[in-house]
Amino acid sequence: MKKMEEPLDDRLGKENHQKLLEIDNPELHQFIDRYVKLCNPARVFVCTDSPEDIRYIRESAIKNKEEEKLAIEGHTVHFDGYYDQARDKNHTKFLVPEGVNLGLNLNTIDKKEGLAELDDIMKNIMQGHELYVRFFCLGPTNSEFSIPCVQLTDSSYVAHSEDLLYRKGYEEFKRQGRNAKFFKFVHSEGELNQNMTSNNIDKRRIYIDTEDEIVYSMNTQYGGNTIGLKKLAMRLGISRASKENWLTEHMFVMGVHGPNSRITYFTGAFPSMCGKTSTSMIEGESIVGDDIAYFRKRDGKAYAVNVEEGMFGIIMGVNVKDDPIIWEVLNSPNEIIFSNVLIPENKSVYWIGKDGKAISKGKNHSGNWALGNKDAQGNEISPSHRNARFTLNLKLLENVDPLLNDPNGVEIGGIIYGGRDSDTWVPVEESFDWVHGIITKGASIESETTAATLGKEGIRKFNLMSNLDFLSIPLGTYVENNLNFGADFKKAPLVFSANYFLKDEDGNFMNEKTDKAVWLKWMELRAHNEVGAIKTPTGFIPIYEALEKLFKEVLNKDYSGDDYIKQFTTRIPAHLAKIDRITEIYKTKVLNTPQVLFKVLEEQKDRLLKAKERYGDYIAPYKFEVILLNRK
């Protein structure tokens, strides 16, 4: 084993040095050695996940003024810089060796050039700071899903946040020793200004090296750029999964409770503002995770785990009616980090959309704030940022599933793909099979923008599997990996689409927010072949009588035949237009598109044209064939 060189000993001290030597992994030691020398922190703290070490991290966040205590016990607040409030897409790049092409959709830089730039930025970047060495595990520990991770950061806020979001990994590193294939993360907030926020954001860089499985993040504090194990690690996971025939997906994992105390586990991919978290947190069901899942095959079945153990959630709009479980947790004594919210003089927390009286002054991401304040560009500053967050451990939620940390994962009965779609997809539909579902549901997701988020409403944005922003391999390769994953299932998960945003001709939503509880129950019954369906050109939809019964049982609500016909009418023109759009994207903008995608889309188009010839442009569900319980 390579011993640490002497210059490190002064900064680690004997105790921290010994903590590292407890892990028999020379590659790990060399990695830490390199970046301590390059970044040049004043001192180094190695966290073993002992209660004393965890407490040191938490106390450091307060001492360093990266967090501030609030009125409720356990609550703290962190502020990012005013211009450091979101993922920096322009400066998030893949380090790509010469000759490698990831396609038009991925932002890349030559690896040698990028590493030279990073070395220049990182030289002495931690001078005067303390470096925290943290060990975590993506996925449950002691499991085939386990991926050990080491995080180097000079931000006590980042080190504390990851403590709430991820499973402890020091013992996993000790267990795996020299066999550990670990992800590596190097982060520095860089020079800080008087507000204790990153000063040199012009040198903000987030570079991802999937070849050596390292993420570099510099001169930024916002969690999406700095909490390496989240979406940054997801890029590493997608790359590794592609090589090893498993999947890393941008999906929740939840348990839907069926008859006789049965629980069936579903995963779901929904773009932002399309109901992903609200679905995973629906009343009466249980949550395994709300964001990222690993999938593996075992005995011809699909199993998944939540990569994380916590929630880094958008807080805007959280209220007691729509989010009762999260609301209760956010207003109780628990260990929670709030970021970029408004803190009035009494040290409570206020955010946009919070129940109760609006607050007119306090401290927020811009400094001392009062209603009507404007920034240097003349834009009015909101009380909390629209991207303000809360960070907590899932164990605080009363609906957390007991299998959250099961090393075997949970068997998946169904996969749901959703989007904001005003005129095409019905509220819930099952695909014909795995390939049909991956292509016409997952690989064909489009989601309409909202005025609130992007300034122009109703623009369709392509977002395959709700994962477009986080891919690290060519898009066509990613689709093919999903298709191949289902090639030899004995029992493949069913694949569904969901759409909570269908509108009538007057622009009114056809569904209530709460209706998603019924669609979930129907999917659960389909997963066990306990309810029939109607076969349309695009998939299987519910029979009216089944939904009528479920609406009464689940929501104690009458469900009219008129509503059913409006919601589940097949809209031929919209479907045909969608197929043309999706086909054009894969022909012109996607590298390595599998040919089966075009075949399946063409077959769907042919079915739609035949139905149009027989029934017209808009086809009520009762026109189609009822399929009873005949799936094998």
Q: Which residues are catalytic?
A: 274
578 Cα distance to chain centroid: 26
Cα gap 606→609, rounded to integer Å: 5
Q: Label the pairing between strands 336-339 and 75-78.
A: parallel
Torsion of CA 342, 348, 349, 350, to 10 degrees: -70
Is 439 in contact with 596 (CB distance < 8 Å)? yes
Is 534 in contact with 541 (CB distance < 8 Å)? yes
- The number of residues making up the chain comes to 632
Q: 612: part of which helix (H) or strand (E)?
A: helix 595-615
Q: How many CA atoms lie within 13 A of 110 on its CB side?
A: 6
Cα gap 130→227, rounded to integer Å: 17
Is 399 in contact with 325 (CB distance < 8 Å)? yes
Is 312 in contact with 42 (CB distance < 8 Å)? no
Residue 31, helix vs strand vs coil: helix
Is the four-CA dihedral 525, 531, 534, 539 of positive or negative sign? positive
- In the chain, the N- to C-terminal Cα span, in Å, equals 55
CB atoms within 10 A of CB 598: 15
Residue 593, CA distances (Å) to 481, 598, 618 in order = 11, 9, 31
Q: Give me the amino acid identity at 60.
A: S
Backbone angles phi, psi at 535, to 5 degrees: -90, 115
Question: DSSP code of 141?
Answer: S
Which residue reads 């920034």 in tokens? 375
Is 523 in contact with 415 (CB distance < 8 Å)? no
